[in-house]
Amino acid sequence: MTILPVIPISPDQPDSAVQADSVQFGGVKPRRRPSMPPRHLADLDLAARKTAVTGLGEPAFRAKQLSTHYFGRLVRDAASMTDLPSAVRDKLTTELLPTLLTPIREQACDDGATRKTLWRLHDGALVESVLMGYPDRVTACVSSQAGCGMACPFCATGQQGLTRNLSVAEIVDQVVYLAGVAASGAVTGSPPRLSRVVFMGMGEPLANYPRVIEAVRRLTTPAPEGLGLSQRHITVSTVGLVPAMRRLIAEQLSVTLALSLHAPDDDLRDELVPVNQRWKVAEVLDAAFDYAAQTGRRVSIEYALIRDVNDQPWRADLLGRLLHGKLAHVNLIPLNPTPGSKWDASPKPVEREFVRRLRESGVSTTVRDTRGREIDGACGQLAAGELTQAGAGGVAADAEVAQ
Ligand code: SAH
């Protein structure tokens, strides 16, 4: 593992929020109420940006210039915007490109192919993103909420509770930042263009539905309005909030849907994914199959293999029967044990047998690589260590809300 120097997100906006806290409070982080961040260019479509710019007394075409810097060139610091008069640059960047994410720690592993960034949001909440480089592509794994309210017992984020939803721009800005890191050539052995986004960081994307959908639109609209990624290269992962899945079908997007199933039977899934007490396996799979039918895209069934909990041959067979003949793919994830957890990953021979049985049922199955384990960047581990150490940020804020 390597601790990297934090790449400043913008040279003229130092990490002032963090420093100010430690000076003002003698190193003790204040408890702040969770609150949504200031308005940012990425919250708005191009028409709304034009209105915002004219509201600031500037001609509408400045909206496009600013958008080209942010989405087209991945530039956000005023000094680099040399096509704008300097007074205008400062005004527009202050008003429309406020700092939303302050990187407080960056770590790398897998020989620099995996990088994790821990962000502090304007209200002190912490979230993380992971950048993963492969020979043919670069993928960003982003957070949609600070914390998570779904309470899955094997997931570190699930133990924290929900602090708040992220804004559209807080989601988009993670991707734009990571696209800038990729473009700088920092991900060795991978192409410089970030091409994929997975909503598999902290949070339940479909519990922050309107903002996540708008973020998807922003990420997939061509520059300068958006980042111009392909919808098919975006994966939204859900615990299975059925009404929101049905709403997603109606959006007519072609994003990939991942369903975190983890058990083929209601008895066990009620425990592993508590939202199953509301929407059962049959109902959630129906919604996933309908999504696949509508988009023509295979749904990805996520299944974390947990030793002696959900890895029995009969469960593989049952899952095989449920998925046989459907437009679905199983992605098995070796459990990444959370600190203090009673659960562990399944032994490799058990995992192999599970894969064999699924394939025998005619279900396409892969085992997910374990990128980022060393830096706790793997599934469910994001930001948990930091929250425990700091005892602040999301957890404190959450406690305040609960009172
Ligand atoms: N809330 C969404 C997305 C976030 S988690 C969802 O649940 O789908 C992304 C994936 O990582 C989910 O499939 C989740 O179940 C899985 N995951 C969480 N904690 C894990 C752990 N400790 N080990 C392996 N996978 C885990």
Please indicate whether residue 305, judged by its CB atom, sits closer than 6 Å to ligand 1: no
Q: What is the largest CA-CA distance in the chain?
A: 68
Domain shared by 288 and 140, yes or no: yes
Domain region containing 58? 41-97
Measure the CA angle with vertex 128, ends 184 and 17; round to 5°.
85
Of all protein residues, whose CA lies closest to atom 9 belonging to ligand 1?
200
Q: Measure 197 CA to ligand 1 centroid, in angstroms.
A: 15
Question: How far is the centre of ligand 1, averaged over its atoms, from the C-alpha of 354 (Å)?
Answer: 19
Residue 278, in any domain of the structure: yes
**121, part of any domain:** no
- The tens digit of pLDDT for each residue in 7-51 reads 555 443 433 333 333 333 344 454 578 999 999 999 999 999 999
Within this chain, do residues 45 and 188 fall inside the same structural domain, yes or no? no
Angle at 70 between CA 68 and CA 72, to 5 degrees: 45
CB 65 less than 6 A from any atom of ligand 1:
no
Would you state the pLDDT for residue 333? 94
Rounded to the nearest angstrom, the distance between the alpha carbon of 303 and the centre of ligand 1 is: 9
| Residue 200 Cα to ligand 1 middle (Å) | 7
Answer for the pair 127, 383: CB distance below 8 angstroms, yes or no. Answer: yes
- 105 within some domain: no
Model pLDDT, residue 377: 60
Residue 275 CB–ligand 1 contact under 6 Å: no
386 — pLDDT class (breaks 50, 70, 90): very low
Cβ–Cβ under 8 Å, residues 207 and 150: yes
Which DSSP helix (H) or strand (E) runs through 332? strand 328-334
Going from the Cα of 199 to the center of ligand 1, the distance in angstroms, rounded, reads 10
- Asked whether residue 352 falls in the same domain as residue 302, the answer is yes
Number of structural domains the chain divides into: 2
CA dihedral 361, 237, 9, 110 (to 10 degrees): -20
> Is residue 336 within 6 Å of ligand 1 at its C-beta?
yes
- Annotation marks residue 353 as catalytic: no
CA–centroid distance, 222 to ligand 1, in Å, is 30
Number of the ligand 1 atom closest to the C-alpha atom of 150: 1
Q: Is the CB of 204 under 6 A from ligand 1?
A: yes
Catalytic residue among 58, 128, 214, 386: 128
Q: What ligand 1 atom has the least distance to the C-alpha of 237?
A: 8
Q: How confident is the model at residue 373 (pLDDT cuts 50, 70, 90)?
A: low
Together in a domain, 207 and 347? yes
| pLDDT for 173 beyond 90 | yes
Q: Which whole number is the average pLDDT over 297-304?
A: 97
**Amino acid letter at 107?**
Q
Tell whether 73 is covered by a domain: yes
Res 368: pLDDT: 85
pLDDT tier for residue 215 given thresholds of 50, 70 and 90: very high
* Residues 161 and 252 placed together within one structural domain of the fold: yes
Q: Span 375-387, mean pLDDT?
A: 53
Residue 69 lies in a domain: yes
The CATH number covering residue 59 comes to 1.10.150
Q: Do residues 148 and 60 both lie within one domain? A: no
The verdict on 171 and 243 lying in the same domain is yes
Closest ligand 1 atom to 204 CA? 1
Question: What torsion do the CA atoms of 402, 267, 200, 41 make, to the nearest 10 degrees?
Answer: -50
Residue 379 CB less than 6 A away from ligand 1 = yes
Shared domain for 296 and 250, answered yes or no, is: yes
Looking at the fold, whether 89 and 138 belong to one and the same domain comes out as: no
Catalytic residue at 128?
yes
Burial 273-308 (b: 16+ CB within 10 A, else e): bebbeebbbeebbebbbebbeebebebbbbbbbbbe
Write down the pTM of the prediction: 0.89
CA distance 73 to 180: 8
Do both 221 and 279 map to the same domain?
yes
Beta carbon of 380 within 6 Å of any ligand 1 atom? yes
The answer to whether residue 128 is domain-embedded is no
Q: What mean pLDDT is predicted for residues 214-237?
A: 98
Q: Indicate if ligand 1 lies below 6 Å from the C-beta of 300.
A: no
Residue at 266 is within a domain:
yes
- Does residue 239's CB lie within 6 angstroms of at least one atom of ligand 1? yes
> pLDDT tens-digit profile of 191-202?
999 999 999 999
Statement to judge: residues 235 and 351 lie in one domain: yes
Here the CATH number for the domain that contains residue 226 is: 3.20.20.70
Whether 199 and 81 map to the same domain: the answer is no
205-224 average pLDDT score: 98
Q: What is the mean pLDDT of the chain?
A: 88
Q: In whole angstroms, give the CA distance from residue 346 to residue 51.
A: 55
147 occurs within a structural domain: yes
